[in-house]
């Protein structure tokens, strides 16, 4: 993972932030998904280094940030992200978030327009159905299997984690596998309470509050955002557009790296040029 790191203290949390500065370039904040971490942006960071000054926080409960004490919700993550940017005194930034990070980016853009110049929302948890119902509730076998994996991955050897990563993510570039596996071992499973109706709650109101240019990045089978939801989101935020990436699932940029980076950077170039 390129860059240096610092820690920002906010409320009861110590938040680890990885920085890859580029003098005179726009600041781009990369917000990871649930169970991931700043390290999972490594391949994107390598591609964009020098083009943007990169800021990559670990959300609380993830990576090198504090473990969860008490409850956690999406508002907590938004406040944490704002605290990091206030501490760094970045001014208005570009934000690219994936999954949980995409919802964080959306809500940050609506709540703190003074901080967000443009937002990229990569397959956020915007469901047709209410979040708990969309996740399948307690009877969802896929979610149950993933939770079981998270509880066991800390006891695996690095070799076992890599084997697990390859089996879970066929087709990914090798550079994506170790960060994905290692962040699962670092994950505080207390943060899974975010899945219990928290992520995606009232997403329509959150999107309607966004005034800045926004790119919603969607995929195909395995992605959360359906074409219908994408169209509704674009209608709710007049400054939004949609980039559909064929043959990609929920981890759009890891499934179709070149196509996703091309779509995102084209959008960001347009924003910066305005």
Q: How far apart are CA 179 and CA 189, in angstroms?
A: 17
What global pTM score does this model have? 0.94
Instruction: Please measure the distance between the N-terminal and C-terminal CA atoms of the chain and give it in whole angstroms.
Output: 31
pLDDT-derived band of residue 196, with 50, 70 and 90 as boundaries? confident
Q: Is the pLDDT of residue 130 over 70?
A: no
Number of domains in the chain: 1
Residue 146: what pLDDT? 79
pLDDT mean over 187-205:
89
On the 0-12 / 13-18 / 19+ scale of CB atoms within 10 A, 189 is: middle
DSSP calls for 116-154: EEEEEEES-S--SS-HHHHTTGGG-HHHHHHHHHHHHGG
Residue 135: what pLDDT? 46
Residue 143: what pLDDT? 67
pLDDT-derived band of residue 195, with 50, 70 and 90 as boundaries? confident
User: Any idea which residue has 């969860």 for tokens?
Assistant: 68
Do 4 and 18 meet the contact criterion of CB atoms below 8 Å apart?
A: yes
pLDDT-derived band of residue 133, with 50, 70 and 90 as boundaries? very low
Residue 200: what pLDDT? 92
- Crossing angle for the helix pair 174-186 and 158-168, to the nearest 10 degrees: 120
pLDDT mean over 156-160:
91
Q: Is the pLDDT of residue 126 over 80?
A: yes
DSSP calls for 23-78: TTSPEEEEEPPTT--GGGGHHHHHHHBTTBEEEEEPPTTSTTSPPP-S---HHHHH
Domain of residue 155: give its range. 4-273
pLDDT digits (tens, 9 = 90+) for 23-36: 999 999 999 999 99
Q: Is the pLDDT of residue 2 over 90?
A: no
Task: State what percent of residues in the chain have pLDDT above 90.
Answer: 80
pLDDT digits (tens, 9 = 90+) for 162-184: 999 999 999 999 999 999 999 99
Q: How far apart are CA 252 and CA 261, in angstroms?
A: 10
CATH number, domain containing residue 250: 3.40.50.1820
Residue 134: what pLDDT? 45
């Amino acid at each position: 993972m390129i860059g240096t790191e610092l820690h920002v203290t906010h409320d009861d949390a110590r938040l680890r932030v990885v920085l890859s500065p580029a003098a005179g370039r726009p600041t781009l904040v990369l917000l990871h998904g649930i169970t991931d971490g700043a390290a999972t942006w490594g391949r994107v960071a390598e591609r964009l280094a020098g083009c943007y000054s990169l800021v990559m926080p670990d959300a609380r409960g993830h990576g090198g940030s504090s473990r969860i004490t008490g409850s956690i919700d999406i508002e907590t993550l938004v406040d944490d992200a704002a605290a990091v940017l206030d501490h760094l005194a970045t001014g208005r930034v570009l934000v690219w978030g994936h999954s949980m990070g995409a919802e964080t980016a959306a809500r940050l853009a609506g709540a703190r327009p003074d901080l967000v110049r443009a937002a990229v929302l990569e397959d956020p948890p915007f469901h047709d159905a209410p979040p708990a119902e969309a996740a399948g509730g307690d009877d969802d076998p896929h979610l149950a299997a993933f939770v079981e994996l998270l509880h066991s991955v800390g006891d695996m050897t690095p070799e076992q984690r890599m084997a697990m990563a390859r089996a879970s993510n066929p087709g990914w570039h090798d550079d994506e596998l170790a960060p994905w596996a290692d962040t699962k071992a670092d994950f505080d499973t207390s943060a899974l309470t975010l899945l219990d109706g928290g992520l995606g709650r009232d997403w329509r109101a959150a999107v309607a509050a966004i005034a800045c240019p926004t790119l919603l990045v969607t995929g195909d089978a395995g992605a959360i955002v359906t074409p219908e939801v994408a169209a509704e989101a674009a209608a709710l935020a007049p400054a939004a557009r949609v980039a559909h990436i064929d043959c990609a699932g929920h981890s759009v940029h890891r499934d179709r790296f070149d196509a996703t980076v091309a779509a995102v950077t084209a959008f960001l170039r347009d924003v910066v040029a305005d």
